[in-house]
Structure 1
């Protein structure tokens, strides 16, 4: 049973120089539940007062079973309080301890990057599933898999620390021995993964993203947060073609025990890839090892069934990660071959209209790569995109979307994509300001389902329609609430069925 004594909690906070003082201390307190939500309380709860926490929340929660509160300032209540310098760090530290430090019982591979985290994580997960005989967990943007029959949709790429360590505990209890996880820059900025270390960490790539109010103040802040994954990895894998490779390498040499790199054959890499054939059905490629990687015996041909030449890079990183964790080449080949990711490069035949492609591409780098690949592979007549941009975050994405459209699209239906507390039309107009109207025809339709329908109906047989940004996301986030949304794929299928 998960539990934590007050004495242990105090000592941990002291060790990490997080404890200011203990108010109203009491001997013999044992915590049997932890929460950061004052509405979610059980007997003997430790409540973390974070964010926009209010005094009245604590007053309401105490009669329900709160025995200790943890906060950055003292409240006038008659229970014990641990006053800390950083509530998020304290919550991560004590959450891990409460759940028995499950991270120490798992071999953990962690991914960060602006694009490719989810696909790379799925490649690695499926390889390790072969190697561990179904004893690998996955924490991704799409799914959280804690065991063979214990999985659910993710709400965040990297959840709050209490939820993270709770799920790790369940994974361990379910017999999982390995974990593949995505780690977002926000997870580091908000200290959700404070003091968490990885057996293997991967830095895929970086370009400006998540910059704006409520997120990162600038690119340097974004980069510094992502560099935390490098600092907390025992072995790190770096993309040798990264524009910030020198910074990555310098950081890795200071903090990591082992450093591996990957790249195309003419780049900097211990493992190098060469694309043999790329189609809409997937890619075949070869790996060649150099230097320290030669002992891994990865040389030879491989195949993936996820379209996109850029996914060969993701598959290469996964092969290297899995090999370092013990997987054999046969596990790697089979794992790569069976990998599919919902909401990534799904396709539908719209009959006498264009082919429809559904993908999560949600920034300049991913949208540019997606549209360029589809244009080349399909010899498209026109490229028609349907997209929006989230409200309240990712402000820097908006001109990036415009740039990708100018370079690769013929027509766009600007629409809603989790507008939050912003007006979706104003977001669309902001994207439109950077679009070259001599190159791209622009339509505004804030009802996303209608935008999809109009785009498909406007397409001709040799056109392609790209539904970008939401993938398999079943909600629209509007003014603080999640409203059910059928998903882009379901809507597109319904439109196509109406042709019959």
Structure 2
């Protein structure tokens, strides 16, 4: 990698100044901008980010010892190496990372999707349909990394990789954390998209208003197209605000554009702007995700016939309302990523309509995450399921039984049968073993994830694989 001069980085960062450059002719070339001093290598610009618990300026000594060629700082430090002084290191990190990687988003067409639910499905559908439209696209988000939206250096590096693979489009999930921490600064967007908003991350955001304002920041970017789904009050408010400031590229996506919806165990169909679309996606909420993707592509200039053809052939997203099957099974099992109250409600509503007899749900709640949602999820399960098994779901540093008991508080004295089975594998096996022919079992919470986080360990665990094994044991036990 050739590298980028300190002067170029200064020009990219608003309000930046450069000091300690003894020889202006030396032209130091920077190849990376890590936040972690332990990851610093030669020719790196170490970013002294001030975080919630740590101040990166305290780790500058270690970064210099490891070979940092310069420091990105908010206050001048007692080091002889060059320092780029900025008002806010986090705000500067995106533009700095972008210029170091050759401003990849200027060579790409980037679609950013934010919202509480539907981001992963929407970006995957967008990318798949774009590929079927004859162009090239890739996805960055929950399905491709550990974080919905990575820190700016990794994000820009990933965009550069997509650019270097000669792809034209990048479809990017944008989380509220990413917007709050300026991770997408330095990204040029072709379109920004809002799916919906419901309570989530309230352990991080002060309240729903603060959560909305974080999501709202995506629409502060100069961007030709802004797509807003108005399926809830927050979407309607955002559309009204964007209309109020005269956003010329505003596209409002009304759920009423979904005509004649039909939902079955094998998929769904609906009419969009006069044309019928048949899809293997399950659930009414997925029709909204498909509609948002379709309206986004239409706003970007794609012909309706091409979009419809693409949507008809798009495959379901792994871990999103994913049926788990084995030959000759007498039971329907579905794995879904629904780990938030509203998502669990939508998933249960969707599968209720596909269930001949009793509806089982196996779910938990993540540790070290917003605890207020736990009893809400218990109450939702009580309202919509017939049999409830509460289990563990990435307990992290918390005690699993304490999380389960908080969920159980929401079940209360409703009379809905429930039990706590902390071993997730055992919980899935119990539901699949005890369910009767014609029942449906929803395994909720982990979806595509192939691990369980216990303490600081990431242990192998795959809901779909565990469910498939349980179905095979069930089938074999029923063979005379």
Aligned residue number for residue 33 of structure 2: 34
Structure 2 residue 384 is the aligned partner of structure 1 residue 408: yes
Alpha-carbon distance in structure 2 between the residues aligned to 1:54 and 1:264: 46
Aligned residue number for residue 437 of structure 2: 461
* Mean Cα deviation higher: 34-43 or 425-434: 34-43
1:139-184 deviation line (CA, Å, top 9, x unaligned): 13113xxxxxxxxxx2111111111111111111111111111111
Shift of 1:12: 2.8
Alpha-carbon distance in structure 1 between the residues aligned to 2:330 and 2:85: 63
1:213-261 deviation line (CA, Å, top 9, x unaligned): xx21211111001111222243111123321244212331327331111
Q: What is the root-mean-square deviation of aligned Cα atoms in Å?
A: 2.1
* Aligned pairs (5 A) from 1:293-372: 299-339=274-314, 340-349=316-325, 354-372=331-349
1:186-233 deviation line (CA, Å, top 9, x unaligned): 111121112434221111111111111xx2121111100111122224
Name the SS of the counterpart of 2:251 in structure 1. Answer: strand
Aligned residue number for residue 248 of structure 2: 257
* Residue pair 1:2, 1:98 contacting (<8 A) in 2 also: no
> Structure 2 length as normaliser, TM-score?
0.91
Shift of 1:101: 1.0
Shift of 1:389: 1.0
Alpha-carbon distance in structure 2 between the residues aligned to 1:456 and 1:110: 39
Name the SS of the counterpart of 2:380 in structure 1. Answer: helix
Name the SS of the counterpart of 1:39 in structure 2. Answer: helix
Give every structure 1 segment of 4 or more consecutive aligned residues whose post-TM-superposition deviation is greater than 4 Å: 53-57, 349-353
Name the SS of the counterpart of 2:33 in structure 1. Answer: strand
- Name the CA shift for 1:396/1:103 in 2 (closer, same or farther; >3 Å): farther
Alpha-carbon distance in structure 2 between the residues aligned to 1:287 and 1:497: 39
Shift of 1:394: 3.3
Structure 2 residue 168 is the aligned partner of structure 1 residue 167: no
Aligned residue number for residue 498 of structure 1: 473
* Aligned pairs (5 A) from 1:184-223: 184-212=175-203, 215-223=204-212
5+ unaligned residues in a row in structure 2: which ranges?
A: none
Select 1:376's aligned residue among 326, 348, 353. 353
Alpha-carbon distance in structure 1 between the residues aligned to 2:205 and 2:193: 21
Aligned residue number for residue 139 of structure 1: 140
- Name the CA shift for 1:74/1:435 in 2 (closer, same or farther; >3 Å): farther
Equivalent pairs, count:
465
* Residue pair 1:263, 1:313 contacting (<8 A) in 2 also: no
Aligned residue number for residue 20 of structure 2: 24
Aligned residue number for residue 87 of structure 1: 89
Alpha-carbon distance in structure 2 between the residues aligned to 1:74 and 1:454: 61
The answer to which structure has the higher strand fraction is 1
Aligned residue number for residue 244 of structure 1: 234
Name the SS of the counterpart of 1:310 in structure 2. Answer: helix
Aligned residue number for residue 148 of structure 1: none
Shift of 1:56: 7.0
Structure 2 residue 263 is the aligned partner of structure 1 residue 278: yes
Aligned residue number for residue 100 of structure 1: 102
Aligned residue number for residue 287 of structure 1: 272
5+ unaligned residues in a row in structure 1: which ranges?
A: 144-153, 266-271, 289-298
1:284-340 deviation line (CA, Å, top 9, x unaligned): 11122xxxxxxxxxx422121111122111111111112223333343123212322
Name the SS of the counterpart of 1:209 in structure 2. Answer: coil
Name the SS of the counterpart of 1:193 in structure 2. Answer: coil
* Mean Cα deviation higher: 245-254 or 301-310: 245-254
- Name the CA shift for 1:54/1:125 in 2 (closer, same or farther; >3 Å): closer
Alpha-carbon distance in structure 1 between the residues aligned to 2:379 and 2:395: 21
Shift of 1:471: 0.6
Select 2:219's aligned residue among 202, 205, 230. 230
- Name the CA shift for 1:484/1:337 in 2 (closer, same or farther; >3 Å): farther
1:86-129 deviation line (CA, Å, top 9, x unaligned): 22211111001111111111112121111111111121111111
1:58-102 deviation line (CA, Å, top 9, x unaligned): 333324321111133444333222233322211111001111111
Alpha-carbon distance in structure 2 between the residues aligned to 1:496 and 1:245: 41
Alpha-carbon distance in structure 2 between the residues aligned to 1:465 and 1:490: 15
Alpha-carbon distance in structure 2 between the residues aligned to 1:400 and 1:72: 42
* Residue pair 2:176, 2:214 contacting (<8 A) in 1 also: yes
Alpha-carbon distance in structure 1 between the residues aligned to 2:415 and 2:296: 42
Alpha-carbon distance in structure 1 between the residues aligned to 2:65 and 2:283: 56
> Structure 1 length as normaliser, TM-score?
0.87
* Mean Cα deviation higher: 176-185 or 75-84: 75-84
Alpha-carbon distance in structure 1 between the residues aligned to 2:183 and 2:406: 32
Name the SS of the counterpart of 1:434 in structure 2. Answer: helix
Alpha-carbon distance in structure 2 between the residues aligned to 1:245 and 1:497: 44
Name the SS of the counterpart of 2:38 in structure 1. Answer: coil
